[in-house]
Structure 1
Amino acid sequence: MGGKTVYMFPGQGSQSVGMRNKLGSMSEEQKELFSTADYILGFSLSVLIDQGPDEELTRTSNTQPALLVMGIAFSKAIDARGYRADIVMGHSLGEYNALVHSGVVDFADAVRIVRRRGELMEKAVKNTPGTMAAVIGIDKTKLEDIVEKSRSSGVIEIANFNSPTQVVISGQKEAVDAAVRLVNDGGTGRAVELNVSAPFHSSLMKPVADEFSGFLADFTFKQPRMEFIDNVTGLMENDPEKIRRKLVLQLSSPVQWEKSVLAACNAEAATFIESGPGSVLAGLVKRIVKDQKIVSGERLLKA
């Protein structure tokens, strides 16, 4: 099949205790990724991934480096099967995997960045519990009305435009819970709370944006070696400084996933491969496109 190959990297919610088993027999290069992360973090992320406990793995300051390493380990295994990415993109945290794979950010630097990103996100909601929920099969106008009604319970916003039939809402727990009830009681759609520990991509993240921006300033960003699509606009970006700025905006901006997939298709994408645990992104892409080949990395590695 002609056309370009897209590697797409999943974000938070795709983690699970024992997920390294999904990689099968690891190469020395893959093992080195985990040992490097363990050394940088000063504790055994590998043991946390393998043994849990789940509540510790789900803490965003741990989830983020865990999924970063998993996504890159998956991409090494996919490369080893003869595939090559022409386009990269990632969903939320997965954007950092895309930046590592395309050479914008060094792997070791990315471990440091996502660990700090997670710590700052925890700090942002320390006194304000927040969550996220996927909303499926409800029209945009009705959802906007539900979000508006739920604002009487707290901050709530649309955080991900995932596919024509799925969006994600994010905000303070009481407000998101209220919206979930309204959706599920309405009879036309359904809402499911996500396995995340904070209200990502909402204005609740803005208080830590300046601190994160200052932290990012210490790292080197290079031009992507392949086409890179960012979350904030859902379009191609190759300017390292614009990428750096968009990572700060990404904290409190919606993920434009549907637009990103369409941008890849406009750039002649023919194959989408999910590089990470699970198959959430593969499922979303199937709802957006019709003519492209869509493969989950998990299934590919089992073949």
Structure 2
Amino acid sequence: MGKVAFVFPGQGAQYVGMGKDIVENYNTANEIFDLASNAVGYDMKKLCFEGPEEELKKTENTQPSILTTCIAMAKVLEEKGLKADITAGLSLGEYASLVIAGVLKFEDAVALVKKRGKYMQEAVPIGKGTMAAILGMERDALENALEKAKPYGIVEAANFNSPGQIVISGEVEAVEKACEYAKEFGALKAVILPVSAPFHCSMLVPAGEKLAIELDQIDIDAFNIPVIANANADYYGGSSAVKGLLVEQVSKSVLWEDTVDRMLADGVDTFIEIGPGKSLSQFIKKITKKSKESIRIFNVEDKESLENVIENLSTK
């Protein structure tokens, strides 16, 4: 049997009601939500289960709420005998991976990502930056479109999600021009995303600098299992690499497709997406189409899907 990877989603996966039936049915999950409430200073259950959606969508609320939901579900899986051999997360999801790997204490991580969300939102005035999804285009062709749009401002590749899906980020006019050029150069579609800031581009460097100060204040422990970083699609070399890679991650491209390719090359044949939504499962399906191996992809976001995974995979 091959290796099992736990993978965790990023911002945008949130919805009102996430985690509710897991908390109602598993005490371990309930305890995680209580720890989160104490760490961030508000009722995490109320925010996640009742909203309102506008509050949940605020970046500084979204990030700790998704992290809490992911860790609550992952801890239940571990309690039931399911352990990961490797873990990775998309953007914010990398923090869940570092918690599961024993590197960050959950209470520290949830307080940290609340600040991370605040710093990311504050780095760029509302309306100055945006993001867009470019569909059906290869990386090289997209680079040409980005280069052509540069006279209009900052525009960079933010997320390499899967074959044919790349997200770009930057100043509004430059992103809009890059969308036009991408279509000229063969993109099937270019869609401006409803986001509050231009994440994962150089405009977010100030947010990374503030995050670095916060990371200096927390304990970073040894790795129990390997974690692959977004910024370089490679394994963390040890605890000393954590701060630098998390700071880089804020303003660098998320190399998700490369990360999944790395896991496949290293023998992962079972992916479990843990947390709200199924976006990573969809990306992984596209990425693994080129793999000749038999790959299993599960997602856990409620009691039914969690029990399905336990039934299929648990060793207890």
Q: Would the TM-score normalized by the shorter structure come out above 0.5?
A: yes
Q: 1:135 to 1:239 in 2, by over 3 A?
A: same
Matched, 1:254 2:253: yes
The answer to whether the Cα contact below 8 Å between 2:135 and 2:187 also exists between their aligned partners in 1 is: no
CA shift for structure 1 position 162: 1.5
The answer to whether the Cα contact below 8 Å between 1:13 and 1:194 also exists between their aligned partners in 2 is: no
Aligned to 1:293: 296
Determine the C-alpha separation between the residues in 2 that align with 1:193 and 1:27: 39
Aligned to 1:5: 4
The answer to whether the Cα contact below 8 Å between 1:270 and 1:293 also exists between their aligned partners in 2 is: yes
| Unaligned segments of structure 1, at least 5 residues | none
Q: 1:186 to 1:16 in 2, by over 3 A?
A: farther
Aligned to 2:110: 111
2:161 partner SS: strand
The answer to whether the Cα contact below 8 Å between 1:19 and 1:277 also exists between their aligned partners in 2 is: yes
Determine the C-alpha separation between the residues in 2 that align with 1:224 and 1:248: 18
Map Cα deviations across residues 228-253 of structure 1 (whole Å, 9 max, x no partner): 11111101114111121110011111
| Alignment of structure 1 residues 176-255 onto 2, 5 Å | 176-183=175-182, 188-255=187-254
Determine the C-alpha separation between the residues in 2 that align with 1:21 and 1:187: 43
| Unaligned segments of structure 2, at least 5 residues | 309-316
1:288 partner SS: helix
Aligned to 1:70: 69
Matched, 1:15 2:20: no
AA aligned to 1:276 is G
Determine the C-alpha separation between the residues in 1 that align with 2:258 and 2:184: 30
| Alignment of structure 1 residues 88-127 onto 2, 5 Å | 88-126=87-125
Matched, 1:274 2:277: no
Matched, 1:173 2:185: no
Q: 1:22 to 1:282 in 2, by over 3 A?
A: farther
Of 154-163 and 188-197, the range deviating more from structure 2: 188-197
The answer to whether the Cα contact below 8 Å between 2:138 and 2:163 also exists between their aligned partners in 1 is: no
Of 209-218 and 89-98, the range deviating more from structure 2: 209-218
Aligned to 1:56: 55
The answer to whether the Cα contact below 8 Å between 1:13 and 1:195 also exists between their aligned partners in 2 is: no
The answer to whether the Cα contact below 8 Å between 2:161 and 2:255 also exists between their aligned partners in 1 is: yes
AA aligned to 2:299 is S
1:38 partner SS: helix
Determine the C-alpha separation between the residues in 1 that align with 2:174 and 2:76: 41
Aligned to 1:140: 139
Q: 1:150 to 1:104 in 2, by over 3 A?
A: same
Q: 1:286 to 1:54 in 2, by over 3 A?
A: same
TM-score (norm 1): 0.92
AA aligned to 1:300 is S
The answer to whether the Cα contact below 8 Å between 1:129 and 1:172 also exists between their aligned partners in 2 is: yes
1:132 partner SS: strand
Determine the C-alpha separation between the residues in 2 that align with 1:179 and 1:228: 33
CA shift for structure 1 position 102: 0.6
CA shift for structure 1 position 288: 1.5
CA shift for structure 1 position 188: 4.1
CA shift for structure 1 position 120: 0.8
CA shift for structure 1 position 183: 4.4
The answer to whether the Cα contact below 8 Å between 1:227 and 1:238 also exists between their aligned partners in 2 is: no
The answer to whether the Cα contact below 8 Å between 1:95 and 1:230 also exists between their aligned partners in 2 is: yes
Of 127-136 and 221-230, the range deviating more from structure 2: 127-136
Aligned to 2:27: 28
Map Cα deviations across residues 151-204 of structure 1 (whole Å, 9 max, x no partner): 344321101112222111111233323434554677741133445322111001
The answer to whether the Cα contact below 8 Å between 1:60 and 1:196 also exists between their aligned partners in 2 is: no
Determine the C-alpha separation between the residues in 2 that align with 1:24 and 1:45: 11
Aligned length: 302
1:99 partner SS: helix
Determine the C-alpha separation between the residues in 1 that align with 2:182 and 2:20: 36
Determine the C-alpha separation between the residues in 1 that align with 2:274 and 2:252: 23
CA shift for structure 1 position 215: 1.3
Determine the C-alpha separation between the residues in 2 that align with 1:206 and 1:47: 33
Aligned to 1:154: 153
